[in-house]
Amino acid sequence: MKKNILITGGTGSFGQAFVENEVINNSNYNKIIIFSRDEYKQFLLKKKLSNFKNFNKLRFFIGDVRDKDRLMIALRDVDYVIHAAAIKQIDNAEYNPIEYIKTNIIGAQNLIETSIEKKVEKLIALSTDKASSPINLYGATKLCSDKLFVSANNYAGENIFTVVRYGNVFGSRGSVAEVFNKIKTEDNFTITDKRMTRFSITLNESIDMVNWCLKNSKGGEIFVPKIKSYRILDLVKAFKSNPRIKYIGIRPGEKIHEEMISASESRSTYDLGKFYSIVPESNQKTLKYYKKFKKVFDGFSYSSNNNQFLSVSELKKLINNEITKKQKL
């Protein structure tokens, strides 16, 4: 029997890409519910996909994860949930902390409680590398959100809650690649610090990972992809040869390097080949399943500066595929 799926933040970068992929590529879902608070983006998405055969599978639902009553209505007869709703601008979080707490933490708990009440089978929550050893408020709210979803498996019964943690989605709204693309014709490239490195994942790679997790998650894991990094100066060179660079200093809450697995998480991290899985020690059922996989070494950490780097030519290909070609569509 085909499943019904709901995507919170369904008109964001990931949500739109996931929905488009399902509609264009003959989705196996019975119903796909786009849950978001932006009516204009919903209108644009309807307009973009209205001529496809699978458009009739879509349901557009205006709502906010802060509103528990609205979630209760939206989750009726839903089997799977992808939680992509979040407020995520790092510097804004430092000046508007309570708004980030309301959406990223309280919104997460609302979704957990309503998913249990409505007997949702599986929920995949999208997280960020900012949640590993956070130094900014946004990262702290996402770490707290991750902990809520992981812990929910201890009292949820048959419901399965899982977290996916990955790095910057290349070319997505607000990403450094998108910003550089906008300023590439200006005299100067403005960057904060020349030492910076970042993880890189494409939207299609993130969708593939989430779909894999929907099929394979056991409950309580934090899945981390094995992806490459890039140096910020190499990204600048990929956009413009011999660029003039203006350094403005690190923004509030910003890191030089990002991290997806900290050394303290290594004792419960397993190598699955294509992904890592951080398994909660409190969940004996899930822990038992992962005993067949190899653990990473004690003290292992996975950060953007101790990783394999994308070359300038590889970054140029990414820019062409993830930004230039998509702008022409």
Give the active site residues.
Answer: 130
Angle at 146 between CA 140 and CA 150, to 5 degrees: 145
Contact status, residue 248 vs residue 191, Cβ threshold 8 Å:
yes
Rounded distance between C-alpha atoms, residue 134 and residue 233, angstroms: 24
Angle at 322 between CA 171 and CA 52, to 5 degrees: 110
Rounded distance between C-alpha atoms, residue 157 and residue 111, angstroms: 16
**Pair of tokens at residue 190:** 């403005």
**Pair of tokens at residue 200:** 């890189």
User: 31-36 and 4-8 as β-strands: parallel, antiparallel, unpaired?
Assistant: parallel
3-state SS track over 50-86:
CCCHHHHHEEEEECCCCCHHHHHHHCCCCCEEEECCC
Rounded distance between C-alpha atoms, residue 297 and residue 163, angstroms: 22
Rounded distance between C-alpha atoms, residue 162 and residue 152, angstroms: 9
What does the DSSP 8-state code read for residue 263? G
What does the DSSP 8-state code read for residue 200? -
Spatial CB neighbours of 96, under 8 Å, sequence gap ≥ 6: none
3-state SS track over 93-151:
HHHCHHHHHHHHHHHHHHHHHHHHHCCCCEEEEEEEHHHCCCCCHHHHHHHHHHHHHHH
